[in-house]
A and B are shown apart, each in its own frame.
Chain A
Amino acid sequence: MEEMKQLVVISGKGGTGKTVISAALATLARKKVLADCDVDAANLYLLLHPEIQEEYTFSGGKKARVDVDKCTGCGNCLEVCRFSAISGGENGKIAIDPISCEGCGVCSLICPVEAILMENTVSGKWFVSSTKYGPFVHARLGIGEENSGKLVTAVRKKAKEIAERNALDFVIVDGPPGIGCPVIASLSGTDLALVVTEPTLSGIHDMERVIRVAAHFRTQAACCINKFDLNLRMTGTIEEWCRANSVPVVGKIPFEEAVVQSMVQGIPVTEFGVNGASQEIKNMWLRLNSLLCSGG
């Protein structure tokens, strides 16, 4: 392989099997680094059992805090805050709701008595770990924090750096659900987006939207239909849509109890005895490999 390739696993809809598939790919790909970019509900560690080697704190932004001794209660800040984070507090002073504050700092800038301080928040932690399957970069976003996109970017940057330093072939990114900020941060600049869907109306709709996001950011997409045998008619609809939109369907994974059982035991499904799901994931990896190596 000439240069390192980045594969991101996304889905639009949550709970379609991104993490189970990412963990399985971790057991199949050679020379790779893994990254869990679903930073606000990270699960990949439950299957990879990382040993943490390095730990970093992440400060994604600031939050306003009022110094009540200085506050005169003039209310100028109330008028400029667009996030409804400031309200009248006790004793004619103001109160700031840290959960609503988006850290723009406008209140602090216009306060006539410098009573509002902008403080760095520790909004998460991220880790470089070793696993049986190779290096793993993962994170934990602080409770209710902003800037999950920035934390995703930090995780991806480190993963890429590890891959380059060690001349690895792949960065495998387990992405978040949805189509918003953390998805865009997980997707941008990758070589291929594996979109995991399920044969349900919601699954199809959400897959279409996330594939359009991938196209918007010029990332090639491939589709994997998980639990395809749950509704063969819907599976047919997905295949038709993919054909019409030149998205290759690289895997159709059967609905099997072994998948949940392996997750309960904390083992990637491909290492959980012989089962049809892992056989299909192995075949899918071969197809993904050739898509990635053909230059995407």
Chain B
Amino acid sequence: MILSVASGKGGTGKTTIAVSLALSLCKEKPVQFLDCDVEEPNAHFFLKPHLVSNCPVSIPVPEVNEEKCTYCGKCAEVCAYHAIAVLKDTVLVFPEICHGCGGCGLLCPEKAIKEKGQRIGIIELGSSTGIEFIHGKLDIGQAMSPPLVREIKRNIDSTRLVIIDAPPGTSCPMVEAVKGSDFSLLVTEPTPFGLNDLRLSVEILREMNIPVGVVINRAGIGDIGVEAYCREENLPLLMTLPFDREIAVAYSEGIPLVEAKPAYKEKFLELYTKVQEWKK
């Protein structure tokens, strides 16, 4: 099963939930953990994996052979992203906005465009207490994270339980991370911000036909809007974690919840059982 942990709003506890699930289940079954928040990966602080290999990731961007180029302008015309511009006697390529679609090279009548790799980041692979661990890091100044997420996900081992820690938001990086999941856990907090962003993520996951369940973190700090919404929308509320300053302090030090409070392991095993039931 591929289980993604997502949220519209940032900082609601995705990593806490994903890491705790992985640590609670790793004795029971083989687990693979993918941290797909490549802009700000944090799960490694908690799982402390021993990283054994890495692999730089690049996207193909055009390289123009000016000897062959006739400056006809076809490449600029076909580029949907305005990532290539043809002037009177030169061609400018803007690799940071290129999506690597390959259109310019394919359609250049002079075959004057080759592709070269433009590095956007790196993925690192390793393991932690039997959990296979992979995460990606987007290079500073790079704009496009989805290709890096795709690269992490090429390593999915479907013989294991795959837990995906998704980036926040509801746009392309999040969509890329949750795509193909069998179930998505949406972590939220009981506040108007949490509710607003939960609604958005439910909309998108419904559109993608991915079944969802809700986890409320820091219960007790806010209001009852999220619970009311779950009832109205018939969304399964699968787990509630109370606000607890000790949990917050453990988090700040990089200590996983189930290590700081081992009693919670049971709750995470239950959570997984519920996920399996709701998935059907």
Contact = CB atoms under 8 A, between A and B. Distances in A.
Interface of A: 11-16, 19, 39-43, 46, 61-62, 80, 82-83, 99-100, 102-106, 109-110, 141, 143-146, 148-149, 176-184, 198-203, 205-206, 209-210, 212-213, 216-217, 230-231, 234, 257, 260, 263-264, 266
B252 A102 contact: no
Contacts of B278: none
B218 to A, nearest CB: 9
B207 A99 contact: yes
A66 B46 CA distance: 46
B40 A12 contact: yes
Contact of B45 (A42, A103, A105, A201): A201
Contact of A99 (B99, B175, B192, B196): B175
Interface string B219-258: 0011100000000000000000000010011011110000
Given A14-B168, A41-B200, A179-B40, 20 more contacts: A14-B10, A14-B12, A41-B169, A43-B196, A82-B100, A102-B99, A141-B170, A141-B171, A143-B207, A177-B40, A178-B169, A180-B143, A181-B143, A183-B39, A202-B40, A205-B40, A205-B45, A209-B39, A230-B245, A231-B252
Given A13-B11, A41-B9, A263-B192, A201 B254 contact: yes
**For the complex of A and B, 7 pairs with smallest distance between CB atoms:** A14-B10, A15-B11, A104-B101, A178-B39, A200-B252, A181-B143, A202-B42
B42 A206 contact: yes
A230 B168 contact: no
Contacts of B174: 40
Interface string B24-49: 00000000000000011010010000
A15 B12 contact: yes
Contacts of B221: 257, 260
A134 B169 CA distance: 27
Nearest to B169: A40
B199 to A, nearest CB: 10
Contacts, number: 189
B11 A148 contact: no
B124 to A, nearest CB: 14
Nearest to B142: A180
B179 interface: yes
Interface residues of B, number: 57
Contact of A179 (B103, B140, B169, B223): B140
Contacts of B203: 143
B170 A41 contact: yes
Contacts of A182: 171
B260 interface: no
B47 to A, nearest CB: 12
B208 interface: yes
B227 to A, nearest CB: 14
Contact of B171 (A40, A80, A213): A40
A213 B141 contact: yes
B40 A264 contact: no
Contacts of B171: 39-40, 141, 144-146, 148, 182
B181 interface: no
17 contacts: A14-B12, A15-B11, A46-B196, A80-B102, A103-B80, A106-B101, A145-B172, A146-B172, A178-B145, A178-B168, A201-B42, A202-B42, A206-B42, A209-B40, A231-B252, A260-B222, A264-B192
B204 interface: yes
Of listed A12, A61, A62, A178, residue having the most chain B CB within 10 A: A178
A104 B99 contact: yes
A65 to B, nearest CB: 15
A102 B249 CA distance: 41
A264 B251 contact: no
B187 to A, nearest CB: 10
Nearest to B168: A14
B107 to A, nearest CB: 6
B45 A46 contact: no
A212 B40 CA distance: 13
Contact of A201 (B223, B248, B253): B253
Contact of B252 (A62, A234, A257, A263): A234
A59 to B, nearest CB: 13
Given A41-B200, A213-B141, A82 B102 contact: yes
A217 B141 contact: yes
B118 interface: no
Contacts of A42: 196
Of listed B78, B168, B207, residue having the most chain A CB within 10 A: B168
Contact of A110 (B106, B168, B173): B106
A266 B173 CA distance: 29
Contacts of B169: 40-41, 148, 176-178
Contact of B40 (A149, A178, A216): A178
B197 interface: yes
